[in-house]
Amino acid sequence: MSLINQQIVLAKRPHGAPQPDNFKLIETPVPELKEGEVLLKTKYFSLDPYMRGRMNEGPSYAPCFNIGEVLSGGAVCTIEASKNPSFKVGESVLSYTGWQTYAVSKGDINKIPDTVKSSYFLGVLGMPGFTAYYGLTTIGQPKAGETVVVAAATGPVGSMVGQLAKLKGCRVVGIAGGADKCTFATQELGFDACVDHKSATFKDDLKKACSSGIDVYYENVGGPVFMAVLPLLNTFSRIPLCGLIAHYNNAGLPQGPDLTPLIAGTFLKNRVKYQGFIISDHYDQIEDFLKEMIPLVLSGKVKVKEDIVKGIENAPQAFIGLLEGKNFGKLIVEV
């Protein structure tokens, strides 16, 4: 009896916002295992904004997806069969096998402990959480009493940035889309304030919430949110730059005026540090991160919000919604 693998492949490249027909669900037989290989059964796979960049031609953070190939990305899998002595059937692993129900691996997978909910290794304890931690601590370097602002405040990166900054004694102001998300950020995540970027009074609301200016702006969105932050930046403020979701669906450059002189001039006058980083460069430091973070998650000092979509067939629509901010928490597909 041969197993059938359901896979989502890139059918064609999107121009602007992805549409359902950019994706295709196919079925392929699972091949026989060779010596040294393991068969993975996917339990969860991750949907992350950076995947949009990989759907374009040419490199972004990572090599682009090829047409007709499975969309790759973080996944939590169970070892279903093993011809590799390092892995036993039933173990949970983190792999990079992406949008499919099964995968064969030669062993470039990492075991995950069973003391924590396994899906957390796609979010708070995985790439997004580590992105938040690294950018905030290494580039942002917030000091107690400073004001830290982060957008996508209830997403996996934003929620972690804000909670870590609170633990460091900062005033934390979130930015999120809609009243529900803002309430969650202040009530559940413990942010000092959260401002709705969809509100007509957003710029004024942000200014009021940041009455001492902004010392660290953790940049994961760009666009109009960044332009609202710009005039509030304090002298010697720091901007770790890990994402620009507001731009990902742009098919070309926006109309003018060209804001570059305003931005560069502000960075100069206010001695701002603006620094891009990609977390895949820094996995030599992930053990330090996990050592610090697992106890915080287990003790409830860091709260976790997941948005779990069931069924691989629903992944494309969920991903399209992610780029529009429709998710509420870390978006994960449960297979």
Binding residues vs a copy of itself (CB under 8 A): 59-61, 222-223, 226, 241-244, 247, 250, 252-265, 267-278, 281
Residue 153: CB minimum distance to a copy of itself, A: 20
Residue 260: CB minimum distance to a copy of itself, A: 5
Cis upstream peptide for 257 (omega within 30°) = yes
Query: What distances in angstroms separate CA 52 from CA 59, 69, 100, 237, one per listed residue?
Result: 12, 15, 18, 29
Contact of 62 with 96, CB cutoff 8 Å? no
6, two tokens: 């359901």
**Structure-derived torsion over alpha carbons of residues 36, 40, 45, 51, reported in degrees to the nearest 10:** 40
Nearer to a copy of itself, 85 or 252 (CB): 252
- Least separation in angstroms between residue 140's CB and a copy of itself is 13
Give the residue with the Cβ less far from a copy of itself, 235 or 314: 235
Among residues 144 and 268, whose Cβ is nearest to a copy of itself? 268
Question: Shortest approach of a copy of itself to residue 45 CB, angstroms?
Answer: 24
CB of 283 to a copy of itself, least distance (A): 14
Of the pair 115, 255, the CB lying nearest a copy of itself is at: 255
Nearest residue (CB) to a copy of itself, 33 versus 278: 278
Residue closer to a copy of itself (CB basis): 107 or 276: 276
In the complex, least distance from residue 248 CB atom to a copy of itself, rounded to whole angstroms: 9
84 φ/ψ angles, rounded to the nearest 5 degrees = -125, 120
User: Which has the closest alpha carbon to 335: 30, 43, 92?
Assistant: 43
